Chains A and B, each alone.
Chain A
Amino acid sequence: MSPKTLIEVNDLNFSYGTRAILKGIDMSMSRGQVIAIMGGSGSGKTTLLRLISGTLRPTSGHVRFAGEVVHELDRDALFSLRRKMGMLFQFGALFTDLSVFDNVAFQMREHTALPESMIRDLVLMKLHAVGLRGAQHLMPAELSGGMARRVALARSIALDPMLIMYDEPFTGLDPISLTVIGNLIRRLTDVLGMTSIVVTHDVQESLKIVDYVYFIADGVIAAEGTPQQVRDSVAPFVHQFVHGEEDGPVPFHYPAPTYQQDLDLDPKGMPVV
């Protein structure tokens, strides 16, 4: 593992019971990069994030984060590893009983012995970075979807992590918020020297900001490359996904008996008497 590599995924397999979700995934993610993981709904993208964060244990294979095999760590070591990670959930997952300020201050108060005056300054800096310093007194219920995600982003960079994972950060946002979140991901990664993993379906927005893309389909890496390679790709799956085509390697129809069989029609389309 080269010193530039932050995360290495080796022959990773994961199943829920007998249902295989991920089958032999290999990945390597360098420090300072924004990496996109794309794939259809239910392709195992979020499961991959949970395996990286140690919320799930792989069936076989391993994830190595900063040199440590995640699933082999005991609870205390895993918790100290997680202090180096941040996660942005699809809808923010802000603590609804705490104000914006207290949400961002949460980790600082839990994990550090910093005086309250310093916490205040740090929280305001984090909120300023996402443009919401003025919203510090609001409660999560008073925020729009885009604002909630920006607050969650400020919260996830509270302790300056080495890695931030974004689970569908663009879902349900208006075009302005979409650009804001996309640019924030890129800018914060560059300024703070972090690594970002963005799990998304949003091809066009993410191709603007990422350094490398992995496509997952049916639990395997179907394709990978830089944004330019992805745009130029003629591989059927990548082409279908990037251009949003209705039918292709990912079929429009869920597997079923033929239409004629289901409607009791003969091969000519006439009802069977």
Chain B
Amino acid sequence: MFKRIVSGIRSIGHRVIESIWRLGLASRFFMLVLLKSGTSFRRFGLVVRELYYSGVLSLIIIVVSGLFVGMVLGLQGYETLQKYGSESAVGTLVALSLVRELGPVVAALLFASRAGSAITAEIGLMKATEQLEAMALMAVDPIARIVAPRFWAGVISMPLLAAIFSVMGIYGGHLVTVIFIGVDEGSYWSQMQSAVDFRFDILNGFIKSCFFGVAVTAIAVFEGYNAPPTAEGVSGATTRTVVTSSLVILGLDFILTAFMFRGVS
């Protein structure tokens, strides 16, 4: 009995040390990526190429999801607001929900599943097939040539995708409430315009999505680069990217919201 308790405590300790060690490794890797980002900016074509793969190819899922999330928000918002006779405020509800929260958060979750997993799998497979080692032996640093351009492409595309998500959501809300249900179009747009503040809402949403972009792509490239070079290793790393990114996005969202909207009515 005593032995089992000791071994239980030992295994918890082992896991904690392992996690802290991994966090340290990730931080060190993140600093290396930042230090070796010079090539990405000197040869911006490398980043543009990755922008296509992580940004442009994520557009369809972002546009369609944004549209549907906005439609649902419009429908639910209308159902609730009409009980109080304030259905004209539905535009405000849709826009604020999207710009402050759902745009950055849902777009980041989708980005993690669509682009983050692809980045991890690609880098992990390059490692498993010795491409990264081959590159290092050709005196080309794989962190500078492979990792950094993917990281910056993710950081740049995330806020743009979140913005597109929010815009599509607002149009989705418009489609359902104004065109299908018949809410007054003028009040949909004008109430939205007067309620949405550039500094508190749009800028804060933008800052959030920048944080999410850094977090998701940093996790994706780290997991890919450190994936064990086997089929299970790469699949495990891809899963970890999606799970860890999703949790980090939600945790970060709470912290950022607490800082940004504290005391704002």
Contact = CB atoms under 8 A, between A and B. Distances in A.
B136 interface: yes
Given A93-B129, A96-B129, A87 B140 contact: no
* B: contact size bracket: 10 to 19
Contacts of B130: 89-91, 93
Contacts of B138: 82-83, 106-107, 110
A55 B136 contact: yes
A80 B136 CA distance: 11
Interface string A58-98: 00000000000000000000011011011101110111100
A87 B137 contact: yes
Interface residues of A, number: 20
Contacts of A96: 125-126, 129, 131
Contacts of B126: 95-96
Contacts of A110: 138-140, 145
B129 A82 contact: no
Interface string B107-130: 000000000000000000110011
Contacts of A13: none
Interface in A81-133: 82-83, 85-87, 89-91, 93-96, 106-107, 110-111
B139 A79 contact: yes
Interface string A169-200: 00000000000000000000000000000000
Interface string A135-148: 00000000000000
Nearest to B135: A95
Contacts of B134: 87, 89, 93, 95
Contacts of A95: 126, 131, 134-135
A53 interface: yes
Nearest to A158: B138
A89 B135 CA distance: 11
Given A93-B130, A95-B126, A106-B140, 4 more contacts: A82-B138, A94-B131, A96-B129, A110-B145
Interface of B: 125-126, 129-131, 133-141, 145
8 smallest CB-CB distances across A and B, nearest first, come from: A93-B134, A93-B130, A79-B139, A82-B139, A87-B137, A89-B130, A83-B139, A110-B140
7 contacts: A55-B133, A82-B136, A89-B133, A95-B135, A96-B131, A107-B138, A111-B139
